[in-house]
Structure 1
Amino acid sequence: MKILYFSWLRECIGVSFEEYSTDQTTISGLIRELVNREPRYRKAFKNLTMVKVAIDQELVADMETSIVGAHEIAFFPPMTGG
């Protein structure tokens, strides 16, 4: 799957996207796996209230949402409007 990082998440992790393979089945499982990889991921995901997620371009709110069969996961900060 392709994982996309936007805004300060991209700055923390150092890449805008990566191809990634996992046996994890949920967003929370994927995040746990990522934060155990390297300190830069721990820094990016230390406050999950500041991280929004989209699976295949559909915004999801539940971190227990399945990622099985997903082609793209995007992590980004909450959006503000005006």
Structure 2
Amino acid sequence: MSRSINLVYFAWVRERLGLDQEMISLRDEVETIGDVVATLKARGAAYAEVLSDSEKLRFALDQDYATVESTIGSAKELAIFPPVTGG
């Protein structure tokens, strides 16, 4: 069964990809955020560069913070953004 998830990009992730958001279909074997990141990296050089170091990124599934090990489950949205700093 094919699933879809809306990807939302923030800050320099959005700027480097040139996208605010996009809807993608997930293969059945995609179970974690890490699997989504790997799928995106395979889409081309821009994705591979932006997502090359997941330690420099933060994630949220349906607006709840998550890690690369987090299971996608029935989530409808995955946000990808750099760490937020105060000032």
Specify the TM-score bucket, using the shorter chain as the normaliser.
over 0.9
Q: Under a length normalisation based on structure 1, what TM-score does the superposition of the two structures give?
A: 0.93
Match of 2:37 in 1: 31
Q: Under a length normalisation based on structure 2, what TM-score does the superposition of the two structures give?
A: 0.88
Q: Give the CA deviation at 1:46.
A: 1.2
Q: Give the CA deviation at 1:12.
A: 1.4
Match of 2:16 in 1: 12
Partners of 2:16 and 2:72 in 1: how far apart? 23
Aligned positions, number: 81
- Matching residue's letter, 2:40: L
Deviating beyond 3 angstroms after TM superposition, the runs of 4 or more aligned structure 1 residues are: none
Partners of 1:10 and 1:43 in 2: how far apart? 13
Gaps spanning 5+ residues in structure 1: where?
none
Partners of 1:48 and 1:65 in 2: how far apart? 13
- Matching residue's letter, 1:76: F
Q: Give the CA deviation at 1:14.
A: 1.1
Q: Give the CA deviation at 1:44.
A: 0.7
Q: Deviations over 1:5-64 (max 9, x none)?
A: 01110111110100111021100000001000111101111121110000000011x311
Partners of 2:22 and 2:56 in 1: how far apart? 21
